[in-house]
Structure 1
Amino acid sequence: MTQNLFAMVTEDPIESNIKHLKMNLFMMLTQRIRQNGWTQVVAAKELKITQPRMSNLFKGKLEKFSIDALLEMVVRSGYDFDVDVDSTNKASPLSFQLKKRKK
């Protein structure tokens, strides 16, 4: 069984992968915001977005966010983004990790 639930509701692999990535970034962000004890107002300030935009995030309106915007918020929340490209690896040519930034 696939870990990408969106693959079960759409036959378009691009759409399912984008939705899957957005959902994972959303879950990471909201978890990080809760761990920090941030209100929506504080989170918006820390992540440099408006409070209405933060409200959209908390309501799960992921169609209003690009992957770029979500990644930027993840980095602003205290993570570093590490990307590795290996064109010789046909099974997994691209991999990335999010690592908590050291203070």
Structure 2
Amino acid sequence: MTEDENLIRDIAPFGLRMPPMLKERIRRAAQDNGRSMNAEIVSALEKEYPEDVYSADEFVDYLQSLAEPMDPESQIVHAETLNSMFDHMGVDLEAHLQSGDIIIMRKTPPK
């Protein structure tokens, strides 16, 4: 048993009423994912209510750091990080770029 599992087991139970059909869907999902119903519910709630990763100031600082020159590997890592941040905030960056709502431009033209 992992340390996280031990911590979860130490938390006092929380009674929850739900419609029987929802309970059955959760039971099936938990079984498909190889976890308990409690773990399935916690996983769903974590996705719906994620912990804040960055403050607004930290996010702006991170965006500004992307303007610095970087090698291709770093570009990939930063693209994945940025996509994860936008996904966490519920923003579909690709859709906004395609629609023209967001335009990304270099600060200065390349030499």
* TM-score normalized by the length of structure 2: 0.27
Higher strand proportion (structure 1 or 2): 1
Greater radius of gyration (CA)? 2
Higher helix proportion (structure 1 or 2): 2
* TM-score normalized by the length of structure 1: 0.29
